[in-house]
Copies of this chain bind each other. A is one copy, B any other.
Amino acid sequence: MNTKPVITYFSNFWKLNQKEIDFLVERADLRLLKKKAFVLEKGQVCNHFIFVVKGCLKMYKVDDKGRFHNLQFASENNWISDYGSFYNDEPSELFIESLEPTEIIQFEKNNVFELYDNHVVFDRNFRIIIENAFIEQQKRILQTISSTAEERYLYFIKKYPHLLNRISHVQIASYIGVTPEFLSQVRKKMI
């Protein structure tokens, strides 16, 4: 594969020596997705860590009433994966799907464990990645249990300004936990 982009992307975030870079690049799979392509579907075990180079993915659940609930968006330089399914080898409840044509770097499960086992730096870097994701998630929980739809929408705008004009209000509504109709009302009242 063309290793250039991988090296470039990762050396912006992680300090790696040449040996570590080589080890990483050998295990990285570059993949191009069309719009509305699935990276993970309900029932499959999530066998990859995914890094978004360009584009945008969403991870969501479909509940028993057929409603969609967005759990996470991942755009440029974000990681996404169903960690529960990945680590416990359980069928996922979730879908991961592209909202745009998207370019990702995938790491297959065995390769992830090889990274951990061969170079300490990966244990550390993935620890830090997940710590940051955890911190963000915690803020979201607090928000969800303590704020109104309007406040959650305002927070979304503040946190994801780069997504605002790229994704539909249907997607945003599904992320903040309201219906599109109600988000429309909220937006009307805000102006």
Pair B135/A133 contact, Cβ less than 8 Å: no
Pair B71/A138 contact, Cβ less than 8 Å: yes
A window 114-134: CB within 8 A of B: 116, 120, 123-124, 126-127, 130-131, 133-134
Pair A71/B141 contact, Cβ less than 8 Å: yes
User: Chain A at the B interface: mostly helix, strand, loop or mixed?
Assistant: helix
Pair A123/B127 contact, Cβ less than 8 Å: yes
How many of these chains are in the complex? 2
Q: Pick the residue among B63, B116, B123, B126 that contacts A146 (CB under 8 A).
A: B63
Pair B84/A135 contact, Cβ less than 8 Å: yes
Besides A67-B146, A134-B137, 7 new A-B residue pairs in contact (Cβ under 8 A), listed by A number: A69-B146, A71-B142, A83-B134, A84-B139, A120-B120, A130-B134, A137-B138
